Structure formats: structure tokens, C-alpha cells
Homo-oligomer: A and B are copies of this chain.
Amino acid sequence: TKVDDNNGGDGVGAKSQNALSGFKTSNVLSVNAREKRIVLHGKVADEDAVVILEKTPFTEDTMDQVFKGSTLKLDMKNYIYSTYQLQASPHYNEIKTTLVCPATEKHISKYKHQESFFVEETKKDYETITLPFIEDQTTFSLEWVYNILQKKAEVERIVYEDPDPDTGFILLPDFKWNQKQVDDLYLIAIVHRMNIRSLRDLTAEHLPLLVNILQKGQMTILERYSLPSSKLRVYLHYQPSYYHLHVHFTKLGYDAPGCGVERAHLLSDVIQNLQSDPQYYKNRTMYFPLREEDKLLSKFKEAGRL
């Protein structure tokens, strides 16, 4: 590794010179194939280090140079479609590199990827594995949810409230949304009813509640953020991250975390399924991912279901 350090001054050059040339990878903490990023753990001169490499986005004005001086290798051709491997000049194809050194355990664990496993949960699995697990939880505190519903916290963040004890809910921004632009709009509707843990508890009895959330949520977002319902993805998670019924509203086109088919259930589909079969979510086999350190995953493993 050669070092071409243009950033002179206070010994930074000399230090960086050795920084990555002496890097020895001990393990890969995570790989993000979609975003073209890899995070490595290793040593630099006997000190723990984390290196984050991420390929850079294309810039429109250098595209001509990318084509110039590049090498093309044909992979396949079918009809009007062909694919190639293009090797471009390194100068127009840089990799953004971040070094954390010395890195603590905390840095290492922050960047460590946890594998997920797809789990199949039959009606019986729910009754014998998941439900006892939920009922056993003191760790998954719902304190913060009750604070919202009882107006002990986040009062000023409430966007809309329907106070009806049966069909009412509070709509407020999700923590992940900074509310500065609607491009990544993310709101949560938390129901007032206290006895609905998740999708699994829903029956036709809850249709008025669900229809109310969908309609009033959409109406409020149209009025407040000028976003019509045709721009909204409205869904529930299963498994949810907390077991008090809540509904997610995110902007269509915003790739919100957790909106994948493996975990999200469109509220419109839920309503329709309950209309045609009042016990749909009671009887159904559900599929969802669990991360390797999730305690529920251990329960499925102990039961021989994975």
C-alpha cells in the first residue's frame, strides 16, 4: 500500500502512512452488498482497529472519464441485453475509507452484523413458544408507550389523537424521523386499547379500530403534510418490537427499515383478510426474521423449530 498524503501538517502524514499498510484483518464485522460497504476488524501495529470501506457514488460529471481508459469484459448477452465487468481508472473509482484506531470492544460490537434467520411460526408455535415468551417479559418494558398514552411524555409531539377507548389511537412521529422533510416521513399510531399484543390477537372484532386508524391516519397526514394516501405505506410488523398494537405510516418510495415483505403486513391486507376470515391471524402460519441474539430465537431453537 502506497500512501499519497496531500494533507500535510502536525505529523498526520507520517501517522497515516503506516495506518493501513500494516493492517491485518482478523475478521469481517459486516458486509452490506446493497450499499457496497464492508467493515473489517483487525490490528494496526498491535492495536485493535476497525476499518470501514465504502464505494463512492457515481458523479455525473466524471462519467466520460470513467468510460475513457476503462477495460470491458463481456459477461453475457441475451437479445438486446448485455452485461459486462468494467474496470475503471482508480482515480474515478475511489473507495471511502474510515479507520478507527485504537478501537474499543464497543466500536467492534457496534459494527458487527447480526445474522437473521427466517422463522416459521404455526398457530401451535405461537401458543407454546411465542405467547409464553411475551408474557414472561419484564425486559421489554412498555413504560414509554403508557407514558405517551397517559400524556406523561411526548405530549407536544402528538400529531393527532382519537380518544375513543375502543377505536382510538395517538399518532406521532417515529423516533427515526427528524420531521424536516416528508421524503422519509415516518409516523406511528399507538392504539388506546391495552389488550392487543400484536397481529396475532386481531380478529374481526377489531375491524372498526383498524379501519379507523387507516382512515383518520391517512386524513391527518394529508392535512398536516400534504401527502395523499396514494403516497403512503401503512403496515404492521410481525414480530413487532414491542407488544402493544401499533401501526407504521411511511412514505412510499422511502426505503424505511422494516418495510420488507419478511416483516411488514399492509394494514389494507390485514383488514381484508379479517373481513374474509375473522380468525385469519389466529390460525395462520406466520413467517418472520429473528436476529441471532434475539431471545425468542433461542426459544424456537430450544423447541427444535429451527
Give A residues with C-beta under 8 Å from B.
Answer: 1-7, 12-13, 15-16, 19-21, 23, 25, 28, 31-38, 40, 53, 55-58, 60, 63-64, 66-91, 93-103, 113, 115-120, 143-144, 147-148, 153-154, 157, 175, 178, 181, 183-184, 229-233, 235, 252-256, 259-262, 264-266, 268-269, 272, 276-277, 284-285, 287, 289, 306
A86–B90 CA distance with the chains assembled, in angstroms:
9
Contact of A97 among B7, B40, B86, B276 (CB under 8 A): B86
- The A interface is mostly helix, strand or loop, or mixed, namely mixed
CB distance from A262 to the nearest CB of B (A): 5
**Contact status of A87 and B84, CB under 8 A, knowing A118-B252, A255-B260:** no
> In this complex, which of A31, A157, A289 has the most chain B Cβ atoms within 10 angstroms of its Cβ?
A31
B261 with A157: CB separation less than 8 A: no
A58 with B38: CB separation less than 8 A: yes
Contact of A74 among B1, B2, B12, B117 (CB under 8 A): B12
CB distance from A240 to the nearest CB of B (A): 14
A86 with B95: CB separation less than 8 A: yes
A5 with B73: CB separation less than 8 A: yes
A5 with B74: CB separation less than 8 A: yes
B72 with A84: CB separation less than 8 A: no
A7 with B76: CB separation less than 8 A: yes
CB distance from A231 to the nearest CB of B (A): 7
CB distance from A46 to the nearest CB of B (A): 15
Contact of A1 among B63, B71, B259 (CB under 8 A): B71
Contacts A7-B77, A40-B63, A272-B284 aside, 6 further interface pairs with beta carbons under 8 A come to A5-B72, A12-B74, A20-B84, A31-B57, A230-B306, A259-B260
